[in-house]
Chains A and B, each alone.
Chain A
């Protein structure tokens, strides 16, 4: 008996401490901003986040995500939300706003809606980057590359494999453009069943030559290794690779589809005022201009666009030349049809 008592006492103490540590209140976490990772994350950190912490003294934590509105829904509705400010694509903005996953933006704090491009203004989010999907090739392997989507489809004149993203989004639009549809009419045609059939028939032509990638980070590697000779891409990745790795990639702006990524604040964030502070800091014209120095991107603040040096505007959708033969992504179309078209795309891909 006298031998067992100390052991029992020790056991009780251990169990008691374990339980007590569960009950102890967790310290509140810092303001958390979430980006896309890779060169985009680095550019945001160098342009905004390091100096934000220095100037305001607000501790900031970074995180990375790869998209998917379901992730945000799980965080907000699951009750274990550890993110505050997130950069989302336009469909995620629309669907999340409908579901009530985002806090409304205080536009007064950001200087009013008129200060920004129309496309960058939304009740639930403010434009973060304006970017495009287009195609690019390695000029080191192919000095003369295709100049538009019809030539992208021409495997006789420009031999080699093609890279396309494994999703109907963008791919169907580009197929229609290659088939001769003007960019401005692409979504009109795509909303008809015959238009969708036409896009899939055009894709049949290029199917044997296509490498389907799933993550945009694969594209510079695919082009550099020669696995594909021409690939759908966003310009930023290739141009940053040119700068950092000494590559000679070229991008073609004809027929590009441009779109906006937005900053949103997740619903129920305990640091809402600090999140708005961060957004205001990032959207001030002289601060927003900095981002374009680190990664080619279009800006959303009108004053910032006007003041930006021309060499940083040249390779972005902020350059009017690049939008001459382009179309804006129709987010409503894809929110409605992504599911059915993805099923059809996968059925088509399995044949």
Chain B
């Protein structure tokens, strides 16, 4: 290469020719770059349209409120502008009464009533009953008309809930996802003790996932080591055995654990026959069952990446360490284990992130206090149609997991720099 440079500078090439060469080089590099981008464009468009955009639209439900503005547009706009915390003015209440009757006719009342019911349980019957009982004409002040049907219309809390649901944007779902709520004066408060559940469920979810990742690491490392050190003709059938659970349904695996772990099941029967137990051990419908079943389900995700890494480690390095005077323990820890650490970390992280999303397994083998956050996300999505809440919880899970991953990658990046 050096010869070429020298010969170019040696030749009678003028500055002009050198500039032409550089320009030509830049042009060809740019062309190659554009070609690469063009080849990736279909995939990028596909991912954007079919993956990122739908997820973004769904997560946007955590911040937007559409039902109340759709049902009572003028009232919603007026309440938004006034922003007062007491009872609204006469004109607003009058407009509200008109729009309430209209929304009952055009079918937008019940979605709005359900939305308000999320914030203030009881609002659904309040609105339905009020809309049905509204007189066609009345000489009373509109607020009295409402108060005659139900006294709750005189409470500032009722109007505050409507006002807080009126905006295009809302903080209700995100606050509720962390056990907070707004009071009538728009101040943030902690939810009452009997309703506070999400923060503890989040912490429980991360804890269970971390424990399952640790258990998978402890059980999976020797297994991967065995698989990678055996000769291929023995290792391959064993690998198929490790992969076999992958190909059976999660539900089948989980119900198999129910048979194994129940009071009259195989585990307890075996321990009783061995004389170790007189009373059956409670291994299922509690946290122990969740750990056992989740570890079994997620173990292949740890073993396979680690196996791939271990297969690539040359045994020469360990032998070199031994020949240089290391004890076997030192050779293992400082040479072999250190090389497998990235694979083990990747496997543990995979198991951790997957465990965060599991809810069928804890639902079947866990106790009432062992439910993970995805159970609630599924509950809000399927049972109560509260997609705002589901989106808020999902977004929180996504953000915390992303922060964790960024933190872990920073850690591993720093360690790699330190090794060098």
A interface residues with partner B (beta carbon < 8 Å): 67-71, 73, 95, 98-100, 166, 210-212, 214-215, 218, 221, 225-227, 332, 335-340, 342-344, 346-351
Most buried by A among B107, B110, B124, B201: B110
Q: A218 CA to B111 CA in the complex, in Å?
A: 35
Q: Chain B, 222-239, contact with A by CB distance < 8 Å: what is the 0/1 string?
A: 000000000000000000
The answer to the question of B330 belonging to the interface, with a C-beta cut-off of 8 Å to chain A, is: no
Q: Chain B, 337-369, contact with A by CB distance < 8 Å: what is the 0/1 string?
A: 000000000000000000000000001100111
B interface residues with partner A (beta carbon < 8 Å): 107, 110-111, 114, 117-118, 121-122, 124-125, 193-197, 200-201, 204, 258, 262-265, 285, 363-364, 367-369, 371, 376, 379-387
CB distance from B385 to the nearest CB of A (A): 6
Q: A227 CA to B110 CA in the complex, in Å?
A: 44
Q: Are A212 and B367 in contact (CB under 8 A)?
A: yes
**Residue of B with least CB distance to A342:** B379
Q: A99 CA to B118 CA in the complex, in Å?
A: 16
Q: A221 CA to B259 CA in the complex, in Å?
A: 9
**Residue of B with least CB distance to A348:** B194
Q: Are A211 and B285 in contact (CB under 8 A)?
A: yes
Chain A at the B interface: SS class: helix
Q: Are B124 and A336 in contact (CB under 8 A)?
A: yes
Q: A344 CA to B110 CA in the complex, in Å?
A: 24
**Residue of A with least CB distance to B128:** A332
Q: A218 CA to B285 CA in the complex, in Å?
A: 12
Q: Are B382 and A71 in contact (CB under 8 A)?
A: yes
Residues of B within 8 A of A338 (CB): 383-384
Q: Are B110 and A98 in contact (CB under 8 A)?
A: yes
Residues of A within 8 A of B197 (CB): 343, 346-347, 350
CB distance from B125 to the nearest CB of A (A): 6
- Selected from A67, A98, A335, A344, the residue in CB contact (under 8 A) with B195 is A344
CB distance from A78 to the nearest CB of B (A): 10
Given the known A-B contacts A100-B107, A347-B195, are A95 and B385 also in contact in the complex, defined by CB atoms under 8 Å? yes
Residues of B within 8 A of A342 (CB): 379, 384
Q: Are A99 and B385 in contact (CB under 8 A)?
A: yes
Residues of A within 8 A of B262 (CB): 225, 227
Most buried by B among A68, A221, A350, A351: A350
CB distance from A255 to the nearest CB of B (A): 22
New A-B pairs, 12, CB < 8 Å, besides A225-B264, A337-B121: A67-B382, A98-B110, A210-B368, A212-B367, A218-B258, A227-B264, A336-B122, A340-B121, A343-B195, A343-B197, A349-B367, A350-B204
Given the known A-B contacts A221-B258, A349-B369, are A339 and B386 also in contact in the complex, defined by CB atoms under 8 Å? yes
Q: Are B121 and A336 in contact (CB under 8 A)?
A: yes
Given the known A-B contacts A211-B285, A227-B263, are A336 and B125 also in contact in the complex, defined by CB atoms under 8 Å? yes
Q: Are B194 and A347 in contact (CB under 8 A)?
A: yes
Residues of A within 8 A of B265 (CB): 225
**Residue of B with least CB distance to A91:** B383
CB distance from A241 to the nearest CB of B (A): 16
Given the known A-B contacts A336-B121, A343-B197, are A212 and B285 also in contact in the complex, defined by CB atoms under 8 Å? yes
Residues of B within 8 A of A225 (CB): 262-265
Q: Are B382 and A350 in contact (CB under 8 A)?
A: no
22 contacts between A and B (CB under 8 A): A67-B382, A95-B385, A98-B111, A98-B114, A99-B385, A100-B107, A166-B368, A214-B363, A225-B263, A225-B264, A227-B262, A227-B285, A332-B125, A336-B124, A338-B383, A339-B384, A342-B379, A343-B197, A346-B376, A347-B196, A349-B367, A350-B197
Q: A214 CA to B255 CA in the complex, in Å?
A: 13
Going nearest first, the 3 A-B pairs with the smallest beta carbon separation are A68-B382, A349-B368, A70-B382
Residues of A within 8 A of B121 (CB): 336-337, 339-340
Residues of A within 8 A of B379 (CB): 342
Q: Are B195 and A70 in contact (CB under 8 A)?
A: no
Residues of A within 8 A of B114 (CB): 95, 98
- Selected from A69, A212, A226, the residue in CB contact (under 8 A) with B385 is A69
CB distance from B160 to the nearest CB of A (A): 18
**Residue of A with least CB distance to B284:** A227
**Residue of A with least CB distance to B382:** A68
Q: Are A70 and B381 in contact (CB under 8 A)?
A: yes
**Residue of B with least CB distance to A69:** B385
Q: Are A226 and B264 in contact (CB under 8 A)?
A: yes
Q: Are B368 and A69 in contact (CB under 8 A)?
A: no
CB distance from B192 to the nearest CB of A (A): 9
